Amino acid sequence: MLGNSLDLSSRLDREEQADESDTGPNPTRPATTSAPGMREGTDDGEGTGDGADTGTGTNAGAGTGTNAGADVGAGLGADPAPGGADAAHARVHPEPVPGVSGIPVPGVSADPPAAAQRSAPVAGRSMAAPARDGELRRTFPPPPPARTPRASGFAETWWGNAWVAALEEMALDAARLGRGKAYAGEGHVDAVTVTPGLVLAYVHGSRPRPYRVQIRMRTLPDDDWERFLDAAAERPSHIAALLDKELPQALADCGVELLPGPGDLVPRCSCPDSGHPCKHAAALCYQTARLLDEDPFVLLLLRGRGERELLDELSRRNATLAARSARAAEEPALPGVPAREAVERRVRAPLPAPLPPPAHPEQPPAYPASPGGPDPFALDQLATDAAARAHALLTTGRDPLAELTLWQDAVRLAATRPGSGLTATTRALYADLATATRRTPADLARAVAAWRQGGLEGLAVLEEAWDPPAGRFDRARPLLLAADFPAFRPWHNHLTHPHGHIQLRLGHDGLWYAYESEPGHDDWWPRGTPDLDPVGALTGLGSPTDV
């Protein structure tokens, strides 16, 4: 879009040149040569620094070897034109007008007071070409200089003040802003032409020829225009406000950057002042704020869309919404939420801190028996087991039973039930678990005893024989002999009494597990408590003389 603005600016230059050529050839003005030793001046003092309107040199505002009031160089205010230096000189310096460009008039003093030169703009070039205006080009004549800015600000509307705020926040010199505001208030800004992304005008200084000033800003992409039009058509009050030349605050906050921010305004002036902005660009910005006050469609045109195009599109969308509302009124309302609310991001409140875990799992409630209902004993068993596992997961952060096999879990469930198959309910539980695991109740009872002796490792000692490394297993026999036990027979990880009724088994955890059997029957059952000392594991089974 910035490239389009540059092309439009070049086209405006060509149109101005055509207007000047229609008025007839301009006679060539005699050149004024700088006196020897004279310092080169700038245009009516519009240079860097404070920009005082006083020239430097013999003639105020004398250029470098050119007429009085000429630009400092050929590249500052005019583009080279075909036809040689004379043609370019004739275009840059139009024909002098008596009484305006310093040409004496009979009966009038040739040297007006300097104060009069600084206070009133002189006639010069103009951007006014209403015949060329269209949907994307509007020309505004200069307002009368009698208007006085209010004490609260130069603009009168909130959107005009937002424009002024963007100007003042990007300015590097408050003094230039003050002089620019004075220029705008005194009528130094000529007719203003507004096109998408560009504000163009001539601003008069104290010299005859005005400066050519541009203010550029970015136009909006199509996606932003779609959001703006949807927001404007959503409420009829927004359309009514635009027709009344008002810009609702809610419409400007619809997610589209209508108003400029700091750095969005890009000034350019043909004067040699390097200020950002210079006082001529500041004057045009202040003058544009007045135009925005009177018609917010000027802002929308700067952003890329004309008034008629926007109103036609808003009318079409408003009619579509009205038809849709009429159909919705006739149809029954369906439960649901607007899609915007369903997909918008929500920030949920943080969860409260977890409560401290209880010291032990609670006892589940008693389940009464009912004809045809589940077994209360089985429900109590499952509830108790679930409570124990949940408590372990809550306190340790892991479920120690998650990797158990079906057989191991059945043994664990049976082991957590008091007794060993003596009661009717316990016998029923053992029978059900044995059937589910395809084992006998006797196998389950033996495994329950091993689980109660050492948990999962105790069950492994019961069911698995393995070859231990040298060390602890080899030292067990001398220890038993020293405790007056007879010599035990080794086999894998087993040490068996010569009489065949007592056995020690070494587990992978390094503990010794004691077993008993009827002599000669090889029917081993876990007994006692595991111990690191083989002699200690036999404690409770009798003295060495007894066994």
- pLDDT 10s digits, 149-172: 554 567 889 888 888 888 888 888
pLDDT in tens, 395-421: 888 777 778 888 998 898 888 776 555
Tell me the pLDDT band of 215, cut-offs 50, 70 and 90.
Answer: very high
**Tens-place pLDDT, residues 506-530:** 999 999 999 999 887 888 999 989 9
Residue, of 108 and 353, whose pLDDT is higher: 353
Q: How confident is the model at residue 14 (pLDDT cuts 50, 70, 90)?
A: low
Those residues whose C-beta lies under 8 Å from the C-beta of residue 441, and which sit 6 or more positions away, are 421, 427, 430, 431, 434
Task: Please say if the pLDDT value at position 345 is more than 60.
Answer: yes
Q: What is the CA radius of gyration of the chain?
A: 50
The residue that leads in pLDDT, 343 or 468, is: 468
Question: What mean pLDDT comes out for the span 467-495?
Answer: 88
Q: How far apart are CA 392 and CA 399, in angstroms?
A: 7
526's tokens = 């876990």
pLDDT, greater one: 288 or 234: 288
- The predicted pLDDT at position 66 comes to 34
pLDDT at residue 511 in the model: 93
pTM: 0.41
State pLDDT tens for residues 71-90: 333 333 333 333 333 333 33
The dihedral sign for the CA sequence 324, 326, 330, 332:
positive
The 10s digit of each residue's pLDDT in 426-461 is: 788 888 888 999 999 889 999 999 999 998 899 999
Q: What is the pLDDT of residue 419?
A: 59
| H-assigned helices in 244-375 | 249-252, 279-294, 297-302, 307-330, 339-343
For 26-60, the pLDDT digits (tens) are: 333 333 333 333 333 333 444 433 333 333 333 33
**Both tokens assigned to 233:** 């058509």
What pLDDT score does 123 carry?
45
> What is the Cα–Cα distance from 76 to 48, expressed in whole angstroms?
14
Q: Say if CB 515 and CB 505 are below 8 A apart.
A: yes
Strand, coil or helix: what is 537? Answer: helix
| 142 pLDDT tier (thresholds 50, 70, 90) | confident
In this predicted model, what pLDDT tens digit does every residue of 229-285 receive, in sequence order?
Answer: 888 888 888 888 888 888 888 888 888 888 888 788 999 999 988 888 898 999 999
Judge whether residue 193 has pLDDT over 60.
yes
Q: Please give the order of strands across the beta sheet that includes 502-506.
A: 489-491, 494-496, 502-506, 512-516, 525-531
* Intra-chain end-to-end CA distance of the chain, in Å: 105
Work out the mean pLDDT of the chain and round it to a whole number.
74
pLDDT interval class at 314 (50, 70, 90): confident
Question: Which of 11-20, 351-360, 375-384, 481-490 has the least mean pLDDT?
Answer: 11-20
Lookup: tokens for 417? 């039930």
Report the relative pairing of strands 502-506 and 189-195 from DSSP bridges.
unpaired
Q: 277 preceded by cis ω (within 30°)? A: yes
Residue 109 confidence (pLDDT) above 80? no
Judged by DSSP in three states, 471 sits in: coil
Count CB-CB contacts under 10 A for residue 372: 4
Please compute the mean of the pLDDT values over residues 353-364 and round it to a whole number: 84
Look at the chain and count its residues. 547
Cβ-contact 203, 191 below 8 angstroms:
no
- CA dist 294 and 194 (Å) reads 14
Give yes or no for residue 146 having a pLDDT over 60. no
